[in-house]
Homo-oligomer: A and B are copies of this chain.
Amino acid sequence: MKCSIDPAVTEVLNNHKGGNKLKTAWDRYEAQQPQCGFGELGVCCRHCMQGPCRIDPFGEGPDRGICGATADTIVARGVARAVAGGTASHSGHALHIAHVLKKMLAGKTPDYAIKDEVKLKAVAGRCGIAIEGRSSKEIAQDLVEKALSEFGDKGEALTWAATTVTKARLETFSKLGIVPTSIDGTIAEVMHRTTYGVDADPVNILLGALKCAVADYTACHLATDLSDILFGTPQPVVSKANLGVLKEDAVNIALHGHNPLLSDIIAQVASEPEMIAEAQAAGAAGGLNVVGICCTGNEIMMRHGIPLATSSISQEVAIMTGAIDAMVVDYQCIMPAIATAAECFHTKVITTMPIAKMPGAEHIAFSDENAVECARAILRQGIERFKSRNPDKVCIPQKSSTAIAGFSAEAIVAALAKVNADDPLKPLIDNIVAGNIRGICLFAGCNTVKVPQDHNYIEMVKKLLAENVLILATGCASSAYARHGFMTSEATIRYAGKGLAAVLTVIGEAAGLGGPLPPVLHMGSCVDNPRAVDVAVAIANKLGVDVSQLPVVASAPEAVTEKAVAIGTWAVAGGLPTHLGVVPPVLGSKLVTEVLTSTVKDLLGGYFIVEPDPAKAAVALLTVIDERRAGLGL
């Protein structure tokens, strides 16, 4: 099977100097064949020690687990626990930032500051915190306490959920009993109801999963808001993406993971003249070259213009260039395989977080109280390791694409305001109504070994752009479109249909870009998906409809993680038809499959569309967009 359609990744896979011993995720995927059919269908259960139990999908063997659970119950439990795993990830990410903000306000983390007071006030105001006549510190103190209260037993609807969706949506959530009153409490509730002998009603379990997904949305939105306050709300910035951004003559430091708490500080410190001088003194004429991988790549690209090396699935491939001196990771989507890959090169893998260590890596505990010094120490590890780089093993593909990143909701509104300062959303809505923008699709999620890297993303986006669908992207979708050149003015000219191209040209020129806006707007990392919701909610509120009526859809065509399951589930809860290009482990239950792909539509407006063929998936999304347009009388 082809591993990737990314030319840089393919070049390294074909020409790396790591030796035959070196295996990649694609090799390990092959070694795992055939994968367990029970697991693929979701009909295996290990939630108690009487198991493992498995339901025979052919109806010839057991149709119940030892406790009496049917395939429906077992599959639903699996979905719910996946959502819980994803929500826990975003909870940890968000809580981490809230803790640092709180410590910063107490004067304990001198290397952090409130960087975006406008955002602080906007978020605080939305949360019902008094703004007038108060200092930023006072406002932030109230805000951080409000944020921390979202994780415990709040006793009322979570603020970040209740204040960022449409009124109608919140009422729908209330009717279904899926308004969470605690982020972590809802995770615990899912774990409780899915343990031995608790919830056996598959539909009830799925409602629990939906509630947990709303908690996930809350955590993501909270994390994004606090990140913007601490590090600045992203604004359009021109950068580069793909492995060609590595430099032969520089110390290459790859930052990989998710949370900007670590990477933003390293990004800042790497531009210090003393650090650059240290790198040069070690023999790197080009100094320090920080690059990003996975969502950390998105975070530092959109806030600092730092180039993105590659996405999660190809993290080993970055090491296989032989040119990365240190790979510094925090948490999420970090393959433990990178430590093994690094053994074939000089690369030092550095873990930094107490909850994410790895055999074979060096652990440097990152202290938020002493962040800059920690960042310097980490960079020095890379500089030191540069000295052992073997030039014979270096294989940097000379391939990278220009990418304009940083289209936060605020940045999009600001660009639109150049067209209509009094009513920024009007040009967008007018063009949707006129059909120049047929609809909007948010691409999110991961790359998976089950599909050649980027294949589904690229096939789908070409078709949708030609049909005048405006594309928003986050996470590894952002990465894919950045690496493949879809985040440029030229891409609009090349790929966008006439109507869409005209709109993007008007906005781009009004915004002073000297050309059209890119047809794919980089909205950030995967935790930033609520930025897209903010845009959709603003449109819905302005039109006086709910998001479930808009010609807006979502797609995770190469989804992998439990986070993707959680995000996909809240996209559905939020009213978005959501495409999955990889079949999730639910087919063992007709009932669960039916609920997720159909019944839920009647309840929430959103639903899953599972379609591995990207061409068919694009057609399916266009059909939905047209249905919704028709529903609005367009």
Chain A residues within CB distance 8 Å of chain B: 23, 25, 28-29, 31-32, 35-36, 38-40, 44, 46-54, 61-62, 64-70, 72-73, 78, 81, 84-89, 91-92, 95, 148-149, 151-153, 177, 182-185, 187-202, 204, 208, 312, 331-340, 354-359, 448-450, 559-565, 582, 584-585
What's the nearest-Cβ distance from chain B to residue A210, in Å? Answer: 13
Chain B residues with CB under 8 A of A208:
355
What 9 A-B pairs are tightest by C-beta distance, nearest first? A152-B152, A68-B337, A39-B52, A88-B191, A200-B336, A201-B357, A184-B184, A197-B333, A92-B192
Quick check: A50 and B448 within 8 Å, CB to CB?
yes
Complex: how many Å from CA A594 to CA B578? 45
Known: A92-B188, A189-B88. A153 touches B152 (CB 8 A): yes
Chain B residues with CB under 8 A of A64:
23, 28, 337, 340
Quick check: B357 and A89 within 8 Å, CB to CB?
no
**19 more A-B residue pairs beyond the given contacts A48-B560, A204-B354, with a C-beta to C-beta distance below 8 A:** A28-B64, A35-B54, A36-B36, A40-B52, A46-B585, A49-B450, A70-B359, A87-B188, A88-B189, A152-B153, A184-B185, A184-B188, A188-B188, A192-B355, A197-B312, A197-B334, A199-B355, A200-B336, A204-B357
Chain B residues with CB under 8 A of A357:
199-201, 204
Chain B residues with CB under 8 A of A197:
312, 331-335, 561
Complex: how many Å from CA A324 to CA B354? 53
Known: A199-B357, A334-B198. A584 touches B49 (CB 8 A): yes
Quick check: A195 and B36 within 8 Å, CB to CB?
no
What's the nearest-Cβ distance from chain B to residue A515, in Å? Answer: 37
Complex: how many Å from CA A52 to CA B32? 8
Quick check: A95 and B334 within 8 Å, CB to CB?
no
Chain B residues with CB under 8 A of A193:
331, 355-356
Quick check: A95 and B39 within 8 Å, CB to CB?
no
Chain B residues with CB under 8 A of A334:
197-198, 200
Closest residue of chain B to A447 (Cβ to Cβ) is B50
Complex: how many Å from CA A121 to CA B581? 59
Chain B residues with CB under 8 A of A199:
355-357
Quick check: B332 and A196 within 8 Å, CB to CB?
yes
Closest residue of chain B to A29 (Cβ to Cβ) is B66
What's the nearest-Cβ distance from chain B to residue A611, in Å? Answer: 15
Of the candidates B25, B358, B562, the one whose C-beta lies within 8 Å of that of A66 is B25
Of the candidates B191, B194, B563, the one whose C-beta lies within 8 Å of that of A187 is B191
What's the nearest-Cβ distance from chain B to residue A35, in Å? Answer: 5
- Interface pairs (23), CB distance under 8 Å: A28-B62, A32-B66, A36-B52, A44-B46, A47-B562, A68-B336, A68-B337, A73-B336, A85-B191, A88-B190, A88-B191, A91-B185, A177-B354, A184-B188, A187-B188, A189-B355, A195-B332, A197-B334, A198-B334, A199-B356, A201-B358, A204-B354, A208-B355
